[in-house]
Structure 1
Amino acid sequence: MRNQAPVLAPLFRSEAQALLLSELLLTAEELSMTDLAERAGLPYPTVHREVGRLLEAGLLVDRRVGRTRLIRGNEQSPLLAPTREILLTVTGPVVLIREALAGIGGVENAFLFGSFAARAKGEPGPPPNDIDLMVIGSLDVQAVYRVCREVSDSVGRIVNPTIMSPEEAEEQTGFLEEVRANPVIEIYGGGPDARATDAGAAEGG
């Protein structure tokens, strides 16, 4: 799917391009190629190829610090602001939620599910009106709701959180079975099957 134009953002040539630009333009960070590949979850050769295209287009700039090549958005490009606005709507939730949840203790797993995740993974259908977020852990519930309100304001779609304890997330309910059977976008700690995998590994050990 990474080589196809994303359903949520057909203006971008590929999902990889949208992911890379999201990491660079929505966080305003300066990242090395290796860090960028890790953050976007992409193979290094793909990152190298896509960054090269975006540098040629003038949307990104780079500089050398020793042997490290650092990449960032080109603030002088007239395309930067409109591209950032598009990214906030289509891929911004993943980047912004991950960054915000990093400041909340007790989060074990977090992922997007529902129609937004399905469209992002290439499944056809109507544009999503909102974003479904699952957060699992022993955590400050109000902090999660605050993060969702802030991200909602930024991306122009309501982020609906479902918050579960680790014990609740391991139950075999119809709702959880449906979540596990459909596409998700991992944000932190793996998707809905991560807990089952961890539990099986622990029993095997």
Structure 2
Amino acid sequence: MRTEAPLLAPIFRSDGQARLLSTLLLTGDELSITDLAIRAGLAYPTAHREVARLLEAGILSERQVGRTRLICANHESPLVRPLREILMVATGPVVILAEEFAHIDRIESAFLYGSFAARMLGDAGPAPHDIDVMVIGEPDVDAVYEACTRAEAAVRRPVNPTILTPEEFAASSGFLDDVRSGPAVAVIGELPWR
């Protein structure tokens, strides 16, 4: 099934293509197509077709290790660097924040909410000015803010963290009810109310 072009970067042919490219170009990882499909949230056949297109265009490269094809960015391509810059701004927050938060203990889950999450999920509206991220757990607060500052520099938008314990997040309030009923994109773990 073909998806629409992503609202945050409509220059890509589909949201799936943007997620696949983000997974490879923003992390620098070398992945099998199976692992790439899982990380990008795509069905294997979709990932396989996109990889074939991007290999043919010279944007990705591959190498064989035993029976496994490993796929990565083709750093010889003049398109990789500008694509990486576009992806960093458009889809980078999820990838960058996931990497940053992975090194912080006691984060149970983290997710984007608000206008940036809405655009990522295809909800129409103006371009977001900032990125709202909710962190659930009892992490070192300074470490979370430092991670968000590094992500902010990379994605060129303010990153606004809200840190709550699971008990605080479970409480009823107008703000939290809006967050739970609004668009959200998981960064670490599952969305805590779904």
Structure 2: gaps of 5 or more residues:
none
Q: For residues 67-95 of structure 1, give each alpha carbon's deviation from its aligned partner in whole angstroms, at most 9, with x where no partner exists.
A: 11100000110101100000000001000
Aligned to 1:172: 172
Answer yes or no: is the 8 Å Cα contact 1:111–1:135 preserved in 2.
yes
Q: Secondary structure at the match of 1:133?
A: strand
Aligned to 2:127: 127
How many Å apart are 1:2 and its aligned residue?
A: 6.4
How many Å apart are 1:192 and its aligned residue?
A: 4.0
Measure, in 2, the Cα distance between the counterparts of 1:41 and 1:152: 24
Identify if the C-alpha distance between structure 1 residues 8 and 37 changes in structure 2 by more than 3 Å, giving closer, same or farther: same
Aligned to 2:188: 188
Q: Given the alignment of the two structures, is residue 14 of structure 1 paired with residue 29 of structure 2, yes or no?
A: no
Amino acid paired to 1:84? R
Q: Given the alignment of the two structures, is residue 94 of structure 1 paired with residue 94 of structure 2, yes or no?
A: yes
Aligned to 1:61: 61
Aligned to 2:152: 152
Q: Secondary structure at the match of 1:70?
A: strand
Measure, in 2, the Cα distance between the counterparts of 1:22 and 1:12: 11
Q: For residues 123-164 of structure 1, give each alpha carbon's deviation from its aligned partner in whole angstroms, at most 9, with x where no partner exists.
A: 111100000000000111110000000000011001000000
How many Å apart are 1:183 and its aligned residue?
A: 1.0
User: Given the two structures, how large is their TM-score scaled by the length of structure 1?
Assistant: 0.92
Q: Given the alignment of the two structures, is residue 31 of structure 1 paired with residue 31 of structure 2, yes or no?
A: yes
Measure, in 1, the Cα distance between the counterparts of 2:189 and 2:71: 26
How many residue pairs match? The answer is 194
RMSD over aligned CA atoms reads: 1.1
Answer yes or no: is the 8 Å Cα contact 1:117–1:184 preserved in 2.
yes
Structure 1 stretches of at least 4 aligned residues deviating more than 6 Å after TM superposition: none
Amino acid paired to 1:112? L
Answer yes or no: is the 8 Å Cα contact 1:179–1:192 preserved in 2.
no
Measure, in 2, the Cα distance between the counterparts of 1:46 and 1:76: 25
Q: Secondary structure at the match of 1:9?
A: coil
Q: Given the alignment of the two structures, is residue 50 of structure 1 paired with residue 73 of structure 2, yes or no?
A: no
Structure 1: gaps of 5 or more residues:
195-205
Measure, in 2, the Cα distance between the counterparts of 1:173 and 1:180: 10
Aligned to 1:115: 115
Q: For residues 41-63 of structure 1, give each alpha carbon's deviation from its aligned partner in whole angstroms, at most 9, with x where no partner exists.
A: 11111111111111111100111
How many Å apart are 1:37 and its aligned residue?
A: 1.2
Measure, in 2, the Cα distance between the counterparts of 1:140 and 1:38: 30
Q: Secondary structure at the match of 1:75?
A: coil
